[in-house]
Amino acid sequence: MSTNNKDSEDKFDEPIEGDDWKPTIKQAWIAEAEQRLAEVENGEVETIPGKEVVRSIRERLSKRNT
């Protein structure tokens, strides 16, 4: 995977509010989503079911609060 983090960071410097995204920000998010989908489809990353993620987060938070 070849990404230039500096370029990506520059595209996300501005706050995003409502549906008034600037075209460059929207394009950057589309490119990111396409890249992530390709990584899943190519087996480069493993997906985790949402329920498992939420359970894990709740466990970690409950350990912090005790």
Q: What is the pLDDT of residue 23?
A: 80
- At 58 the pLDDT is 95
User: Model's pTM, two decimal places?
Assistant: 0.50
Q: Which amino acid is at 52?
A: E
Dihedral sign, CA of 25, 29, 34, 39? positive
Q: Which tens digit of pLDDT belongs to each residue from 2-15?
A: 455 555 555 556 56
pLDDT tens per residue across span 30-66: 999 999 999 999 999 999 999 999 999 999 999 987 7
Opening angle at CA 47, ends 45 and 51, nearest 5: 160
C-alpha–C-alpha distance, residues 33 and 36, integer Å:
5
pLDDT of residue 2: 47
The residue with tokens 């996300």 is 12
